[in-house]
Amino acid sequence: MAKLLVTGGAGFIGSNFVHHVLGTTDDTVTVLDKLSYAGNLASLDGLDERRLRFVRGDITDAELVGELMPEHDAVVHFAAESHNDNSLHDPRPFLDTNIIGTYTLLEAVRRSGVRLHHISTDEVYGDLELDDPQRFTETTPYNPSSPYSSTKAGSDLLVRAWVRSFGVQATISNCSNNYGPFQHVEKFIPRQITNALRGERPKLYGAGANVRDWIHATDHSSAVLTILEKGAIGETYLIGADGEKNNREVVELILALLGQPADAYDSVTDRAGHDLRYAIDSTKLRTELGWEPEFRDFEAGLAATIDWYRDNEAWWAPAKDGVEAFYAAKGQ
């Protein structure tokens, strides 16, 4: 039984991870989350309060982080500014949370000796051509494109430096695009599902040829638990579930699952610097640590995600109008 400190546990993947930990282990969890626009306490509703404590606070607050750290066996670091489109509009919060926040946690684990698992993204590797037979591996050179991905790349490099120079007990994982419940409506899949549910047309950037490698958030959670249990200190593990799809295919599938015509979407202004394709080779995680994904049927996972958004309008509706106004101002 471990005592976990989970940063960003009120966000999309962090809350899915907390549900997974409380549902599959005897561990206890402290969530440290500042409840930015992306955090939502309702995502933790219904969980066992004897095993879950919530602390509202900022990971850049060194005093708070220093107080919390020694009470735990490990910190799982999800907290981040996570949206590429926001990073193109206003990069500064990405530097504060993703760089200074990670630095603050590293200094705290350096002092306390607590194990750190750092959650990162495949976007640190840049993008691939559509017909490139290679996928990203742990040895692919870093080549980030956006303010978001460059700050995540910077945070990964800080973790590696603190492991080598100070002996910090840390691991890193870089995962592909997640889908599932509790994802903010600013992101691609929830935006298109909630548009279609409200009778508005999904919005595809450009021609929709860009490819993302989809993984269910529960599979991301099980992979992180596996790395916490069996991962080697100092190592990086790529997490992916062989889920490559282009954006047009995803929109057409959402429309089909909702019984709407396949062409009932709008093509809108493309994202600046838009990465073409991500693809993960997760052989190391599978062969060295024995992890396998459970959600192998994307259509079934997407149908369940649509059901969740249909059943939980009260969770997403308060954010929807503001998000659409932000996009509309950019022609998206």
Element counts in the chain: helices (H) and strands (E) = 12, 13
Task: Go through 55-83 and write b for each residue having 16 or more CB atoms within 10 A of its CB, e for each that does not.
Answer: eebbbbeeebbeebbeebebbbbbbbbbb
Mention every residue, 6+ apart, whose C-beta is less than 8 A from residue 117: 74, 75, 76, 77, 170, 171, 172, 173, 224, 227, 228, 231
Number of residues that bind ligand DAU (CB under 6 A): 19
What is the rounded distance in angstroms from the CA atom of residue 286 to the CA atom of residue 266?
Answer: 39
Nearer residue to ligand DAU within complex by CB, 16 or 30 = 16
Q: State how far Cα 6 lies from the chain centre.
A: 13
What is the rounded distance in angstroms from the CA atom of residue 108 to the CA atom of residue 124?
Answer: 25
Which is the catalytic residue, given 103, 125, 148, 237? 148
CA distances from 91 to 100, 150, 163, 213, 229 (A): 13, 10, 27, 25, 35
247 makes contact with ligand DAU (CB under 6 A): yes
Q: Give the nearest distance from C-beta 141 to ligand NAD in angstroms.
A: 19
191 makes contact with ligand DAU (CB under 6 A): yes
In angstroms, what is the C-alpha Rg of the chain? Answer: 19
244 makes contact with ligand NAD (CB under 6 A): no
Known active-site residue 148:
yes
Binders of ligand NAD among residues 49 to 68 (CB under 6 A) are 58-60
38 makes contact with ligand NAD (CB under 6 A): yes
Nearer residue to ligand DAU within complex by CB, 177 or 282 = 177
Which is the catalytic residue, given 123, 186, 252, 324? 123
Q: Give the nearest distance from C-beta 187 to ligand DAU in angstroms.
A: 4
Known active-site residue 123:
yes
Choose the one of ligand DAU, ligand NAD, none that binds residue 212, judging by a C-beta under 5 to 8 angstroms depending on kind.
Answer: ligand DAU
Catalytic residues, by residue number, are 122-123, 148
Q: Which residues bind ligand DAU (CB under 6 A)?
A: 82-84, 121-123, 176-177, 187-188, 191, 203-205, 210, 212, 247, 271, 278
